[in-house]
């Protein structure tokens, strides 16, 4: 379940979530279903990625509607837009027992999603 969604892209919240969920829809990661569900609960229509790369344990990279989208952990997204990550926010999520996903779109920070991890 996505508990927090902090968008910082110029696309707006819905478009940012739609692009991220479109990438996650192609992923087999257990957290992906929660991201897809968050987008669908807003009535967002997903697009099929034109390219897709899974890096196990780190994240995913895809092209969606012409946008270069990276979703994963801080190390995976650092060189793709998150050079200055909000470490206090990520630490708070970890203390709350949440997993954090960072997304970069077209080389810029796009969003941070916090997901409640099943115990």
The overall average pLDDT reported for the chain is 93
Among candidates 9, 41, 8, 39, which has minimal Cα distance to 21?
A: 39
**What's the pLDDT at 31?**
87
Say what percent of the chain tops pLDDT 90: 80
**What's the pLDDT at 119?**
60
**What's the pLDDT at 28?**
82
- Give the separation between CA 79 and CA 88, rounded to whole angstroms: 19
Task: Give the number of other CB atoms < 10 A from CB of residue 53.
Answer: 12
**Cβ contacts of 54 within 8 Å, gap of 6 or more:** 27, 28, 60
- Give the separation between CA 10 and CA 24, rounded to whole angstroms: 20
Domain count, the chain: 1
Under a CB-based contact definition with an 8 Å cutoff, are residues 110 and 104 in contact? yes
Q: What is the CATH number of the domain that holds 44?
A: 3.40.1110.10
Residue 59's domain comprises 2-116
pLDDT tens readout for residues 13-22: 999 999 999 9
């Amino acid at each position: 379940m996505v508990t927090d969604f902090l968008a910082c892209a110029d696309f707006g919240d819905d478009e940012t979530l739609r692009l991220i969920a479109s990438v996650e829809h192609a992923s087999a990661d257990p957290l992906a279903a929660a991201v897809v569900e968050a987008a669908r609960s807003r009535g967002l229509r997903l697009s099929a990625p034109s390219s897709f790369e899974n890096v196990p344990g780190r994240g995913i990279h895809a092209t969606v509607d012409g946008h270069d989208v990276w979703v994963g952990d801080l190390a995976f997204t650092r060189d793709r837009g998150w050079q200055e990550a909000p470490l206090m926010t990520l630490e708070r999520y970890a203390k709350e027992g949440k997993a954090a996903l960072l997304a970069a779109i077209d080389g810029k920070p796009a969003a941070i999603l916090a997901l409640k991890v099943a115990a």
